[in-house]
Amino acid sequence: MMEEDDNYIKITPREELVKQGNAAVAHLASGAILMVLTFGARFRLVGMGLSAIVLVLGLISIFSKDKEGKKPGMLLTVSGILGLIVQVGIPVLRPFAVFFLGLGGFGFLASGIMRGIRFLIGLKGRR
């Protein structure tokens, strides 16, 4: 029986690398869009359009067959609703919506960075 060396890098299958890379890009893009919705969307029409896109992407992820996409899809759906609340300007809910949009954006960015690092490590192992 062979013992594993600490310096041994496991070769990640191509399909797994594709999934990791796609997830990293999707999470980074989602985090960036949520940050734009939180801090940068001064134009209501643009903000409402972005919120609607986030909402539709979340719904598509929820109803997809991929089990890994359901939780991020739920977060995107809620984020789209929160973005619409921010853009419509409901005074009582707006501070909470802005807080949770920022929190969600930061979470998606952190998740995207971690998934990107995992992707790069797997890619390095294939050389």
Mean pLDDT of the chain: 83
List, for residues 39-78, the tens digit of each pLDDT value: 766 677 888 888 898 899 889 988 888 777 788 888 889 9
Does residue 100 fall inside a structural domain? yes
Determine the average pLDDT of the residues in 6-19: 74
* Structure-block tokens of residue 71: 């939780």
* Structure-block tokens of residue 117: 């690092």
Give 68's DSSP letter.
G
Does residue 98 fall inside a structural domain? yes
pTM higher than 0.95 for the full model?
A: no
- pLDDT of 41: 62
Does residue 89 fall inside a structural domain? yes
pLDDT at 4 over 60: no
Count of domains observed in the chain: 1
Does residue 13 fall inside a structural domain? no
* Host domain of residue 93: 18-125
Does residue 105 fall inside a structural domain? yes
Concatenated DSSP letters of 41-61: --SHHHHHHHHHHHHHHHHHH
Does residue 48 fall inside a structural domain? yes
Binning pLDDT at 50, 70 and 90, where does residue 3 land? low
Does residue 8 fall inside a structural domain? no
Does residue 118 fall inside a structural domain? yes
- pLDDT of 84: 87
